[in-house]
Chains A and B, each alone.
Chain A
Amino acid sequence: MRGALRAAVCVVSLALGALACSGGKSGGDVIVVGHVASMTGDTATFGRSADQGMRMAIEELNAAGGVLGKKLELVTEDDRSVTEEARTAAQKLLQRDHVVALLGEVASSRSLAAAPEAQRAKVPMISPGSTNPKVTEVGDYVFRACFIDPFQGAVMARFAMNELHAKRLAILFDFKQDYSVGLAEFFRDTVRKNGGEIVADERYTSGDIEFRAQLTTIRAANPDAIFVPGYYTELGLIAKQARELGVNVPLLGGDGWDSEKTLEIGGDAVEGYFFSTHYAADSDNPRVQEFVKRFAAKYGATPDAMAALGYDTAGILADSLKRAGTTDGAKLRDAIAATSGFDGVTGKISIDPNRNARKDAVVLQIRGGKFHYYRTVSAE
């Protein structure tokens, strides 16, 4: 009985202590920003790249005197590329670190897991790279710094039909990822609307390593091109097994391919393939060139799209904080919603009424073991 009483006292005092501390961390001379990221696991390059981009942006902002007279501090919480963990990571950042804003996730399924937590806490969340439309539909505190899948799916469908003159198209998508399911759906619609034909529609599950059965079925349908809107790990294996089975038509994809790992895993097998993404590191835009140079000096690598989006996401947040003049959740939310013509490395970014970014897409081609700029597709 005595023990139980003592335990109760402890719990109560702990709770009081936590209450007294709440808001304390952001109240000092730093503004704490949270980042839910896949730092390890199947899509680890997404989280790491975005995190590098964000940290570089914050370092530059702090060197220039910070925001609202305070320094920004980024706290990153790893979700190991697991959907359920993204939610836990968001809770930790909101409740333990009392962040003023949540950045992340890249993968749509994980953003969808984390977003309700931000919405409930009335803390603005900006996803750098989740392109599935459902993400920002979670609530009015959820934003993104990238275009959405209806646009990306349509871009690749039109690219296949107009540039590659493909009429018979096959799809191989990951039905466990909202991102992949969404892209496949919009690709399918656009192809049909424009008089093309989907001759094979196959699926796989994240984590699969054997795709020969689906690829054999696709091969039998004799398509002109195959749309594989998945993430880079599976793509590399799919490309290899496709070549082994003698499939020689081009594979097309979305921004889920945008990782150095695509080249590492795919090797020769991904040569000549195309994908849509947010920015091209070999673009001649001076702002991009400056960013690529500084990133290479800091991390010794060429920034991929997620690094560029991470950089812009932190930039949009800092810009909005300045315009809001406060870290108050509701006022910060209104400032982010009012973002217009923000000059990012991934293009001019305006937030539309559905809290999505309006901007252009680029198509890259893999040639000689490198990504090469191929074409820009306007958002209009």
Chain B
Amino acid sequence: MENLLQQLLNGVTWGSIYALIALGYTMVYGVLRLINFAHGEVYMMGAMTGYYAAHWLGFAGEPSLLGLVAVLTASMAVCGLLGALIERVAYRPLRGAGRLAPLITAIGVSLLLQNSGQLVFGADPKFFPPLLRSREVFGAGEVAVSNIQLTVLATAILLMGALQYIVQRTRFGRAMRAVSYDAPAAALMGVPVDRVISGTFVLGSMLAAAAGILVGLSNPKIDPLMGLMPGLKAFVAAVLGGIGSVPGAMVGGLLLGVIETLVTGYLSSTYRDAIAFVILVVILLYRPTGLFGAPQTEKV
């Protein structure tokens, strides 16, 4: 029982990383009907930016909460700009060119970032500086909760809460929902569609950057190809939750993390990667709209 609790905790922590990445997929899909396959690479860039920021700002030597906040902010800012840049350069020129062309461009951007990443950062893995000194916060019997796991969970929940607030309570959020519902009509009502789309990329990329930093914190090995698998898994998580739905991406990410951990813990890690794609196939066959993706559900 304690073992199961520990595994659930491991799974939720791991899943919160998927959830943060999945949110970017789902928001972009919401406004553009585009699967942004370069999103996993934004997550990689987030981790890399964090690595260099920690070294340049001088937080690599000694762990401190201030360092973590500074690195997180820097990385989210850089990746937010990167997201806007990708949208402006690679997707906006193809607006109205059907759905296939931007999809192929997205794969192109993904390859470009992977390979220029190897060129600039080097193909060797890097080891994320310890921004927090790991220690056990509380242990109830066999269940050990470390401050790192708590930080990952708390940051993820905080960011998701902030996103939910932005989407539901702000003018920009209302504009996003309007564009998602009917872009031409929103444009006729005076909503600046291009700016809203740009802002959506910024938001999604910032969340991916945060995911990159959190992974650096709890699993401190980063390399230019690290975005590939989590990118695909987060896409599965977004489809599982219902692509286009914000709460769906959160639940889908957490669920996928828990499922993977339980499969690894109780069956074998051999099946861990397969299970995500089995879920994708099953969802597409039997419930293509995902858990939260009923047509009348509001989309973002």
Say whether B219 contacts A245, CB under 8 Å: no
CA distance A204 to B265 in the complex (A): 11
Say whether A212 contacts B134, CB under 8 Å: no
Binds A, one of B103-111, B140-148, B158-166: B140-148
Provide the A161-174 mask, 1 if CB < 8 A to any CB of B, else 0: 00000000000000
Say whether B125 contacts A233, CB under 8 Å: yes
Smallest Cβ-Cβ distance to A41: which chain B residue: B123
Say whether B123 contacts A220, CB under 8 Å: no
Say whether A216 contacts B221, CB under 8 Å: no
Specify which of B125, B215, B270 is in contact with A42 (CB 8 Å cutoff).
Answer: B125
Provide the B99-133 mask, 1 if CB < 8 A to any CB of A, else 0: 00000000000000000000000111101001000
Contacts of B265 in A (CB 8 A): 213-214, 216-217
Interface residue range, chain B: 35 or more
Contacts of B7 in A (CB 8 A): 213, 216
Provide the A211-231 mask, 1 if CB < 8 A to any CB of B, else 0: 011101101100000000000
Binds B, one of A19-27, A99-107, A236-244: A236-244
Smallest Cβ-Cβ distance to B229: which chain A residue: A207
A280 to chain B, nearest CB (A): 25
**Interface status of B139 (Cβ within 8 A of chain A):** yes
CA distance A241 to B264 in the complex (A): 15
Given A246-B136, A246-B144: A210 touches B270 (CB 8 Å cut-off): no
Provide the A183-220 mask, 1 if CB < 8 A to any CB of B, else 0: 00000000000000000001111001110111011011
Q: How many residues on chain A are close to B (CB under 8 Å)?
A: 32
B212 to chain A, nearest CB (A): 12
**Interface status of B155 (Cβ within 8 A of chain A):** no
Say whether B134 contacts A203, CB under 8 Å: no
Which residues 41-63 in A have Cβ within 8 Å of B in the complex? 41-42, 44
Say whether A214 contacts B123, CB under 8 Å: no
Contacts of A205 in B (CB 8 A): 269, 273
Contacts of B130 in A (CB 8 A): 267
**Interface status of A335 (Cβ within 8 A of chain B):** no
**Interface status of A71 (Cβ within 8 A of chain B):** no
**Interface status of B10 (Cβ within 8 A of chain A):** yes
**Interface status of A264 (Cβ within 8 A of chain B):** yes
CA distance A240 to B217 in the complex (A): 12
B258 to chain A, nearest CB (A): 10
Contacts of A236 in B (CB 8 A): 127, 221
Which of B14, B148, B261, B269 is packed against the most chain A CB atoms within 10 Å? B269
Specify which of B14, B142, B226, B264 is in contact with A214 (CB 8 Å cutoff).
Answer: B264
CA distance A245 to B142 in the complex (A): 9
CA distance A272 to B11 in the complex (A): 29
A263 to chain B, nearest CB (A): 11
Smallest Cβ-Cβ distance to A81: which chain B residue: B123
Contacts of B149 in A (CB 8 A): 244
**Interface status of B3 (Cβ within 8 A of chain A):** yes
Contacts of B14 in A (CB 8 A): 210, 212
CA distance A42 to B221 in the complex (A): 10
CA distance A219 to B2 in the complex (A): 11
A129 to chain B, nearest CB (A): 19
Say whether B124 contacts A214, CB under 8 Å: no
Specify which of B6, B13, B221, B261 is in contact with A209 (CB 8 Å cutoff).
Answer: B221
Say whether B268 contacts A203, CB under 8 Å: yes
Say whether A245 contacts B6, CB under 8 Å: yes
Say whether B136 contacts A209, CB under 8 Å: no
Smallest Cβ-Cβ distance to B262: which chain A residue: A213
CA distance A44 to B122 in the complex (A): 11
Given A203-B270, A210-B219, A217-B3: A244 touches B10 (CB 8 Å cut-off): no
**Interface status of A273 (Cβ within 8 A of chain B):** no
CA distance A245 to B13 in the complex (A): 14
B119 to chain A, nearest CB (A): 12
Contacts of B215 in A (CB 8 A): 209
Add 19 more A-B contacts to A175-B270, A245-B6 (CB < 8 A). A40-B124, A44-B124, A203-B270, A205-B269, A208-B269, A209-B221, A210-B14, A212-B10, A214-B264, A214-B265, A214-B269, A216-B7, A216-B265, A219-B3, A236-B221, A237-B221, A243-B134, A246-B139, A265-B127
Chain B residues within CB distance 8 Å of chain A:
3, 6-7, 10-11, 13-14, 122-125, 127, 130, 134, 136, 139, 142, 144, 146, 148-149, 215, 219-221, 226, 260-262, 264-266, 268-270, 273
Instruction: Please list the 4 inter-chain residue pairs (A to B) with the smallest Cβ-Cβ separation, ordered nearest first.
Output: A209-B219, A213-B264, A213-B265, A212-B10
Q: List 13 A-B contacts (CB under 8 A).
A: A41-B123, A42-B125, A209-B219, A212-B10, A212-B14, A213-B7, A213-B11, A233-B221, A236-B127, A244-B134, A245-B144, A245-B146, A265-B220
Chain A residues within CB distance 8 Å of chain B:
40-42, 44, 80, 175, 202-205, 208-210, 212-214, 216-217, 219-220, 233, 236-237, 240-241, 243-246, 264-265, 267
